[in-house]
Each structure stands twice: as structure tokens, then as C-alpha cells.
Amino acid sequence: MHTRDYQALDRAHYLHPFTDFKALGEEGSRIIERAEGVYIHDSEGNRILDGMAGLWCVNLGYGREELVAAATEQMRQLPYYNSFFKTAHPPAVKLAETLCRLAPAHVNHVFFTGSGSEANDTVLRMVRRYWALKGQPDKQWVIGRKNAYHGSTVAGVSLGGMAPMHAQGGPLVPKIAHVRQPYWFGEGRSGEGRTAGQDPEAFGRECAAALEAKIQELGEENVAAFIAEPVQGAGGAIIPPESYWPAVKAVLAKYDILLVVDEVICGFGRLGEWFGSVHYGLEPDLMPIAKGLSSGYLPIGGVLVGDRVAETLIEEGGEFFHGFTYSGHPVCAAVAQRNLELLEAEGLVDRVRDEIGPYLASRWKALEAHPLVGEARSLGLIGALELVDPATGERFAESRGVGTLCRDLCFAGGLVMRSVGDTMIISPPLVISRDEIDELIDKARAALDATLARLAEPESDPRPDPQEESPA
């Protein structure tokens, strides 16, 4: 089979996630056939540096034989069994123990799911159930944030704050409210020029104040929980101002409301700690997890449950009518277990904090000197570039599609860098070397140059030339 054959079958039968089906059919998919380390290979023979670790998940990098062996052995031993009817199996039990050892001290239980979206569905049912058991059944409102991503199931979409998602397939789950996001570059910066504008720290406190105002508006007696990502991923790698989380903590301390920290992206080393909550000194009641839990080798997610909620569910709850066929799937659990062992044995989480994260930060920050870049920010191994019009230092009109153009030129130059509007994002595998970071930076800069050149052309067509689609 050649690329064209795959594309024809793809076009005929495959409805892709988050995709304009018709537009993709006309353009054709890039077919990815294999991968190793931090590189993916397409069906045209191109080797591409995966600056996104798949979809924020391949923390250990591609091609790890240890994970293949873990899956193979477990498939032979016990390919499937459930944990519904007073049964369990070794891989899920061991993984539960490992997770609770790595999690903050007050977290000693886990509920397994098949994905991050299912984890957040579990969160919603669990927080409402918790308050019902506490004799406060009116505490049902959950406060999330605009432009947050918590998944694609109905509860995930409702908890998230993605306006285009809310506009499709509703109505959403009732009693979920959204407050503003701590996105300084997008919403806090004002005034002239690139760096002028509101002080980020004051802006961070303002965002926390918006949470408090919402709690007061809804009434503390009606609010079950606040849910947030430590650093927003899909929303645009939004690293909050330093003032934000401490101010949110202070707000939450005044009210009896559960804190849910969505660790689906930030967990498992992305920010240089096992959990983003640790980086920000948070003590969440619930932590949804997925992605890096198995480095994406197999689908598995879960909710880490703090003692306060767990004790109530266990001591007072009776049966919790909730679960999935694949909750704690033995093969997925065995691979996740091996993945965590390798992350630990190779010291990869500390390496992000102490060595490779700071190295990325210094190289990434230098891209701010590029005329197209209004801000370059990073934390651990998450980074973002805000593209701006060099003439004004302000953002481009969304309709110009500059981010998409830059993303396509990155791909053409042999780098996966994702765009969210005009925000360019990276989230590479944690195993990335310094040389590979240098390569990533060179390719990103080349794509920025190519984008600038394209914008300078009269009546520029925002699509790359067909021959540019293939990396050299």
C-alpha cells in the first residue's frame, strides 16, 4: 500500500477526531507509520521531530521495548478481566499502589478509567456524590474555567470551557459555571507595544478574585468543586502568573469546596514534578490522570482520590454505581506500571526540573527576539510562542490563519509543533536530548522565518506549496 491508497481508504471511511471531514478529505492525511525516540516517520519516508509527544502523552518516547514486553507478558498471562464483582488482578492492584506512593501524601486511592475524559466524568459524579453523602445535596455546582480542556465526553465538554465545543451537541450538563482564565498574554496585556500592559501578577490575582465572585454569586452552599489544569494545555500552554495559584488557594481556603486538579497533561513529569499540583503546592481532593500514565502506549486513565473524599465514599457511600468495562484493564495497567518504573529508574522527572527543562527554557526564550514572536514562555517541557504582527506587536486577525500557516511550515520542515490559534505549542517527550532540543529550536526558527517570508508576499496564500509539505 502506498500513501495514496491509505489516503483513499481514510477519506472513504475514517471520521477523524476534531477534524473538518470534508476539508481533510480534499487535502488527504499524512500517514504516520512508525516512530523511535522523539521521531515519527511518515509513509513518504520523512523523519519528523515530534515536538508534541504524540498528543502530550509519549513521555518516555517511542520504541521502548520494555513496554512492549510488559504488554506481551500480561497478554499471555491475563489479557482481560474486570474488577467489578469482588475481583481484582495483580497489574491493577500494583499500579494503584505505585500511583498512591508517587502522589502527594494525602492521596491514597485511585479509580481507574480508560481515558482522561472518562476520568472527568468520574470526577463530576464523585464530587456530587460526596456532597450528597455529606448531607449537602444542594452542593452540585462545579466551577471550571473558560478555554479549559477536560475531555470530549458530555461531562468533559461541560466541565471544559471550549466555546466551539459548547456550541455543538448540547445541551450541556447543568450546574457547571466557568470563570476567566489566567491568560495574561491573551487577556491581561494591554496598552502599546509588546511588553507594555497590565502587571501579570495583578492580573493573576484578578482572575482568582473572579473565582471568589462566582462562588459568592452561586452561594457556597451550592458549590461542590472547582476544577482546573495546573497549566492549561489544549487551551494554549497557558502558564498562569506566579500570583494565580496562591491566590486561588487562599480563596478556596475560605470556602468548603473541593479542589479538582486535572493532571492529564501536567502529571507524570511534564512540569518537572510527578504532578503539576506538586509544582504549584496544591493539595487537590481529586486528580484526574491519563496520557503520560502509560506514555500513551495503551489507553488508561483514572482519578486519584484524596483521603477526605475517599474516606466518605468508603465509610458512608455504599455501592458507587459507576465504572467501565476497561477500568484497570490488566494489559494497560501492566504497561502503565512499567512506564512509571522506567520514569523513576531513569530519573526523568527530576531531569525535567533540574536539567532539560531549564535548558529548553533558555533556548526557547531566545526565540522571543524573532520579529514574529510576542512572547516565548515555558515551564518544564511545555512551551508556547505567541505570534504577533511585527509591524504593531499586536496579534494578527484570527482570519489570517497565521498559526496554521506556521504549523504547516513546521511540519514541512520536519517538526511537529501544534498551533492553537496563533499560539505555537511544544510538549516533547521527556527523554529529549540537548541536541534534539537544539534541532527543535532550529526548525522552529526556520518555520518562523518561512512564515514571515510568506506573510511578506503580496496576496499571500496561507497554504504551503505542495513540495514544501515534505521535510527535507
Please report, as ranges, the residues that interact with ligand PXG according to CB under 6 A.
Answer: 55, 115-117, 120, 149-151, 156, 229, 233-234, 262, 264-265, 290, 301
Per the CB < 8 A criterion, the answer to whether 238 and 161 are in contact is no
Q: Which is nearer to ligand PXG, 7 or 427 (CB)?
A: 427
Q: Which is nearer to ligand PXG, 292 or 330 (CB)?
A: 292
Q: Which is nearer to ligand PXG, 205 or 378 (CB)?
A: 378
**Closest distance to ligand PXG from the beta carbon of 299 (Å):** 7
**Closest distance to ligand PXG from the beta carbon of 424 (Å):** 12
**Closest distance to ligand PXG from the beta carbon of 328 (Å):** 16
Compute the Cα dihedral for 362, 366, 367, 372 and give only its sign.
positive
Q: Which is nearer to ligand PXG, 233 or 370 (CB)?
A: 233
Q: Which is nearer to ligand PXG, 149 or 268 (CB)?
A: 149
**Closest distance to ligand PXG from the beta carbon of 161 (Å):** 12
**Closest distance to ligand PXG from the beta carbon of 84 (Å):** 22
State the residue number with the nearest CB to ligand PXG. Answer: 116
Q: Which is nearer to ligand PXG, 151 or 200 (CB)?
A: 151
Integer Cα distance of 142 and 258 in angstroms: 9
Per the CB < 8 A criterion, the answer to whether 142 and 222 are in contact is no
Q: Which is nearer to ligand PXG, 271 or 455 (CB)?
A: 271
**Closest distance to ligand PXG from the beta carbon of 303 (Å):** 11
**Closest distance to ligand PXG from the beta carbon of 56 (Å):** 6
